[in-house]
Every structure is written in C-alpha cells, then in structure tokens.
Structure 1
C-alpha cells in the first residue's frame, strides 16, 4: 500500500462521529433542562427518579456504544500499521467498520429501528473479528 497511514482515516472520522454524538446528547440534555423536563440535580447521580426524553436517552446510549467497540478498532488499526500489515483487505474492513458505526449511529439517534440497529451493530463486531483473525493468521 502506497501510504499505510491511510488506515487511520477511518479512525479519525469515527472520533469525529463520537464528538458529534456527544454534541447531540449535550444539546438534547440542555433542551430538557430548558423545558423543565429534568433538573440540574439529575446529572449529579442520575438517581433522582427523573427520566430524560427518549431521544436524549438514545443519544446517550449511542455515545456509550461509541466507547465500547471503537477502542478495539483503534487498537487493531494501530497494530495493523505498526506491524506493516496495511493491506487492501484491512483497509476495506476498516472502512466497513466505520460504515457500520455510522449506520448504527444514524439509526440509533433518529428512528431507532431495532432490526437495522442490531444488524449494523452486529456487523461491526463481525468486522472486528475478521480484522483480528486476519492479523492473527499473519502473525502465526
């Protein structure tokens, strides 16, 4: 591959997506505060018995999801780069993982259609497994 650093482009886009979801979550929470749906004290322990709006909870859960599988993806991309294994296959898998997370996020924070959300979430995990197996085969 002519420029192996390209493996980090999907990582950087995913980081920007994470910041976007954080911003959406924050704005939805501020809207809830302004409307009086929740009080500031709710955010101290989240145990006030108050419930945030469904759309806010969706954004919060998606933000949490972006803290789960993506760190493994970042690590796999780093291993791929450091070991000189940036191949067209690994690049394709990296872009497919990013696509799965973008689809998952779009569905999760908008329509929240569970079948499509589950499919995109599962596809992302499958892609991580394929990336891991590909590297493992190269190492042994």
Structure 2
C-alpha cells in the first residue's frame, strides 16, 4: 500500500489488527511469562531465563515494541546499581491473557498425546478448572 492510498476494509479488521499486535514471534509468550509472574515485576534477565530459546536481541526488541504498544509497563529502578528495569502487564496486556485461555483450551483439545495440563495442577488459565475450586 502506498502512503497516500486509503486503508482497505480488510486492514481495519479487528482480527488482523490483533494479529499485528500480538502475532510476532515471542510476543504472546512474553505476555504469558509476565502473567505467570503473579504480579511480580519481572526483569529482563528473569524473562530471558523463563524463555531460554529467545535471543537477547529479539527479547529486547519485543519488550520495546510491547511497551510502545502499551501491552507492558517498563519501569526503571534507579535505586539499584546497575539500574534495574522491570516489566508488568498493563490492562491492555492483561486482556491479552484471555487469548491465552483460548490457546490453552485449543492445545488441550487438539495438541496431541504430549499435551498435558501445565502449571499447578490446574493453572489460572485452564478452562477445565475444578468447579469446586474458589477463585
């Protein structure tokens, strides 16, 4: 599309816009890891440890993009030496966790014989949580 051409109806599609926001490799897994941090502010190295297959460069790029898109909040802790940077989910990022629930349900149903319910028996994202379990 040229700069002066109007956007097509397809480009306004909410599915397309969501995939543009969350569809880059590692983005949704970064959301997942921050979510499972249970409210802790996760630093870069903690995220790197939780996602060992992502390169340092790509993780840095994704976190920058996610902060610009307001999926994560980046906070510098200047009281520590060296300065520590942590990430938490914004409300927009927390809403993306609803997509994780759908992914998990799909994976449990169609993921194959090696798929199992991860987390603490039934994690908070599991659509098959016990009905007796309190939130």
| Normalised TM-score (structure 2) | 0.23
Structure number having the greater strand percentage: 2
Q: Which has the higher contact order (CA 8 A, sep 6+)?
A: 1
Please give the TM-score of this superposition, normalised by the length of structure 1: 0.22
Q: Which one has a larger percent helix, Structure 1 or Structure 2? A: 1
